[in-house]
Structure 1
Amino acid sequence: MPIWQTRLRADRNRRLTHGATLFVWCAVGLLIFTMGLKGLIAVLQVLFDPTPMGDRSDMRNVQAVGLVSGALALTAFLSGWSVVGFLFARFLFPSLWAEDQVFVDATGVTWRRWYGPGSELNYQPFTEVAAVPRPLGEVELLLSSGRTVRVATLGTSAEHSELWSRLCARADVGARPREPVKCVPEGKEALALPGGGTVLRRQRGDLEGRAWVRGGVALLFAGSAAMVAWRQGIDGLTVEDTLFALLLVAAAVVATVSALPGSQSRVEWEVRPLHLDRVQYGLGQARRTSYRVRSLELRRARFTDSEEGDWEETTLWMHTNQGEVALESGRFGTLGREHVGEWLAWRLDVPLEHSGPDRRRD
C-alpha cells in the first residue's frame, strides 16, 4: 500500500497555451508537409516515366542528377519535418489530457503517465537510487548505475518541490550522491574489465534504433543510385550522372557500415590503479593511448566577455607522464564534472585537486 501519492496535471494556463500551440502547429505542419509531399510525388512521377528527357518539352535540359537530388532533398526535409513535428506534438499533448500519477511506499516509488486504462506502470526501488536532483521543470531519480529516470513533468513547481522532498526523505538521499565514488556519474555507464579495472563511457542509448535509421538512409542512397543508373539507360550516359551515382553508392556503403553497432564512434576510458587508457572506437582499428596518472585536477577559469559578461568554465585535467591531458571541459555541468573526477580519482588511486577560478578576458 502506498504511504503517499499524488496526481499531477498541468495548470489551466499551461493547458490553454499548449492547446493553442498544438492546434496551430498541427495546422501549419500538415499544410507544409502536404506541399512537400506533392512536390516529391511530382518529381518521382517524372523519374519513373520511361520517356527520355530529350523528348519531353518541359524537361528537355534536366538531367537525372538534378531530379534525384531534388527527390533526396525533399525526402530529407519531409522526414525531418515529420520527426520534429511528432516530437513537438508529443511534448505538448500530455498537458491537455494526461496526468502524472506517483505512489510512494516504504521500499520504492511507482509512477505512470496516465492517458487512460492500460497506461504502463513503472517501479524503482529506493535501494538503487543514489540521488534525487533538484527539480527544474521535472522530477528525476539518479540511479547508482548513472542512469536517470523521469518520474514526473506535469504539475507546478510547488508540487515538484513537495514530490522531491518526499522522495529524498523516503530514499534517504539528497540532491547529490552522498558517496560519489560508489555511484556512476550521470549520463555515463561503467563496465568491469575481465582482467581487473573498469571501463567508463557515455551511455550509448538506443543502438538498435540508430542502426535502423542509418540502415534506412543506406537503403535510400542505394535506391537513388539505382534510379540514376536506370535513367542513364533511358537518357544516355553523362559524366555528371555517373559520378553522382558512384557518390551515392559510396554514401550507401558508409551508412551501412556505420549502422553496425561495433562501428559507431565512441570513446572509452579503461581505468586501473595509476593507469588510464583512452580507447577511441570507430571505423577501422581502435586507437589506444595509455597514460600513467599522477593526479587529477578540476580547474575553474572565469572569463569576461564584452557581449556575454562573466562566465565560468571548468576543465577536468589529468597529470600524467606525458604531461597534462584534458578529459572534460565545458561551461555547464560543473557538479557532474566534479563527480567524474571523484569517481576516477578513487579508482586510479590518485588525489583530486581543485584550483581557480582564474579570471581571463576573451
Structure 2
Amino acid sequence: MFLLVWSAIGVAGAKLALQVLVAVLQVLLDPVPMDVRESIRNVPAVGLVLGALALIAVLMAWTWLGLRVAKSLLRWVIGEDQLAMDSKGVTWRRWWWPGSPVHFLPYSDVAAFPAQLLSKVTALLTSGRTVTLATLGTTEDHEALWRRLCALSRRGAVPAAPSACVPEGYESALLPGGAVMLRRMEDGGRGYIWVLCGTALLFVASAAVILWRQGIDGASVEGPLLAVVLVGLAGLAGFLAWPPVYSRVEWEVRPGVLDSVWYEMGRPKRTSHRAESLDARRDEFEEIGDRPAGVSFSLWLHTPTGAVSLMSDQVFPESVDHLGHWLAHRLKVPLDRSAIEQDLKKREPVPQHHVG
C-alpha cells in the first residue's frame, strides 16, 4: 500500500513539473515577441530561462529520489537473496526477475567475511574489493549466514594473513623495479562526469536561447549578462569534468622507503619518506560543541624527520590494523599495534569453525 501511495505521489509530482516545464519551453522557443504572445506575457527571456533551469533541476532531483526509493521498496517486496554454499565457494545472486545473473565466488579469492555491520553480508577479496552477498533479511539471518560462511570457508571476520591481501577499499599493482603501488579504489565517478557534461551543455543552450530572444524581444542589459554567467558556469562544469582535474594520492612502497605521489592536474608531486617504523594509535577526544566525545584510530609512519599520518578511522580499528600489517610487510619495518589491541579483541566476533 505504501509503495502504491509513494508511486502515485511521485508520478503526480513529476507530471506536474514536466507539464509546467513544457509550457515554459513552448513560450520560450516560440519566435513571437514578449508583448504579443498569448500566455506568460511580460516575462522576459531571462526569467523564462531561469524558471526552466529551476524546473529541470527540481524534476531531475525528484525523479532521481523517486527511482531510488522505488528501487529499494521493490527489492524488499519482490527481491530475494539466493545463496548456495559448499566447501569450495558460494554461489549467489540478487534475484529481481528469472534472468537475474548468477555469480560464483571461490573461497580462494576471499580474505575474510567482515562482521563490522551485520545489516548485510559481505566478502572481502584478496584484491581489496568488497562483494555484497546479501542485504535482505534480519540481523539474526545475516549473523547465521555469516557464521555458516565462516565455518565452510575457514575464514574469519578479519584476514588471517593481513599482509598477504590488499586492504579493503585499496588497489595495488607491481611497479618496475620491485616497488608496489597502493591507492584508493576509484569510486565510480563516471556518472558524476556525465552529469557535469550535461550541465555544461544545458548552460550553453540556455545562453544561446537568451541571446536568440534578444533579437525578438529587444535588447536588454540583463540578457547578455546572464548569458555570460551561464557560459562561465558551463566552462567551469566542463573543466571539472576533465579527468586530469581530479587529484589522487598513490603510495609507492619498497623496503625502507614510502613515496607519496600526489597527482594534481595530471602532474605528479613526489615526497619520499624513509621508513623506520609504523605506529597504530588510539586517540580519545572530548565533547566539543556539536561534536560528541569518542575515539579515533590512526596509522603513523615514523621517519628520521618526524611522524607522518597515513590514515585515520573513527569507527573501525580493523582498517588501521590491516593497512599497518600490509605496509609493514613491504617496508620491512616493525608495526606497533599495542594501542589498539584491546579494541580489536573487543570487536572481533569468534565464528564457530564447524558445520552442523
TM-score of the two chains, using structure 2 as the length reference? 0.84
Asked if the contact 1:139/1:160 (under 8 Å) is kept, the reply is: yes
Secondary structure (helix, strand or coil) at the match of 2:267 reads coil
2: distance between equivalents of 1:267 and 1:59? 55
Pick from 69, 89, 95: which aligns with 1:108?
Answer: 89
Deviations 1:276-319 (A, max 9, x none): 23333343533333333333222211122176653111222233
Asked if the contact 2:90/2:105 (under 8 Å) is kept, the reply is: yes
Does residue 142 of structure 1 match 2:124? Answer: yes
Does residue 73 of structure 1 match 2:28? Answer: no
Asked if the contact 1:229/1:245 (under 8 Å) is kept, the reply is: yes
2: distance between equivalents of 1:292 and 1:44? 63
Asked if the contact 1:300/1:355 (under 8 Å) is kept, the reply is: no
1: distance between equivalents of 2:218 and 2:251? 54
Q: Could you tell me which residue of structure 1 aligns to residue 180 of structure 2? A: 198
- Segments ≥4 residues shifted beyond 6 Å: none
Q: Which amino acid aligns with 1:340?
A: L
Q: Could you tell me which residue of structure 2 aligns to residue 52 of structure 1? A: 33
Q: Say if 1:155 and 1:311 are closer, same or farther in 2 by CA, change over 3 A.
A: same
Q: Say if 1:283 and 1:240 are closer, same or farther in 2 by CA, change over 3 A.
A: farther
Match runs of 1:229-240 below 5 Å: 229-240=211-222
Secondary structure (helix, strand or coil) at the match of 2:276 reads strand
Secondary structure (helix, strand or coil) at the match of 1:118 reads coil
How big is the shift at 1:180? 0.9
How big is the shift at 1:237? 4.2
Name structure 2 gaps, 5 residues minimum.
341-356
Q: Could you tell me which residue of structure 2 aligns to residue 255 of structure 1? A: 237
* Identity between Structure 1 and Structure 2 (%): 48
Q: Could you tell me which residue of structure 2 aligns to residue 301 of structure 1? A: 283
How big is the shift at 1:334? 2.4
Secondary structure (helix, strand or coil) at the match of 2:51 reads helix
Asked if the contact 1:298/1:352 (under 8 Å) is kept, the reply is: yes
2: distance between equivalents of 1:321 and 1:274? 12
Deviations 1:38-71 (A, max 9, x none): 23223222321222335569543x4433332222
Asked if the contact 1:207/1:261 (under 8 Å) is kept, the reply is: no
2: distance between equivalents of 1:106 and 1:234? 75
1: distance between equivalents of 2:203 and 2:270? 33
2: distance between equivalents of 1:47 and 1:321? 67
Asked if the contact 2:244/2:266 (under 8 Å) is kept, the reply is: no
Secondary structure (helix, strand or coil) at the match of 1:219 reads helix
Deviations 1:68-113 (A, max 9, x none): 2222222122212212221221111122112211111232111112
Q: Which amino acid aligns with 2:129?
A: R
2: distance between equivalents of 1:243 and 1:220? 17
Q: Which amino acid aligns with 1:206?
A: G
- Give the superposed CA RMSD: 2.6
How big is the shift at 1:208? 4.1
Secondary structure (helix, strand or coil) at the match of 1:82 reads helix
Asked if the contact 1:263/1:281 (under 8 Å) is kept, the reply is: no
Pick from 265, 281, 292: which aligns with 2:247?
Answer: 265
Q: Could you tell me which residue of structure 1 aligns to residue 76 of structure 2? A: 95
Name structure 1 gaps, 5 residues minimum.
1-19, 358-362
> Which has the larger displacement, 100-109 or 317-326?
317-326
Secondary structure (helix, strand or coil) at the match of 2:101 reads coil
1: distance between equivalents of 2:338 and 2:88? 41
Q: Say if 1:42 and 1:163 are closer, same or farther in 2 by CA, change over 3 A.
A: same
TM-score of the two chains, using structure 1 as the length reference? 0.83
Q: Which amino acid aligns with 1:151?
A: L
How big is the shift at 1:133? 1.2
2: distance between equivalents of 1:74 and 1:278? 45
Q: Say if 1:69 and 1:175 are closer, same or farther in 2 by CA, change over 3 A.
A: same
Asked if the contact 1:138/1:150 (under 8 Å) is kept, the reply is: yes
2: distance between equivalents of 1:214 and 1:318? 38
Pick from 108, 112, 120: which aligns with 2:101?
Answer: 120
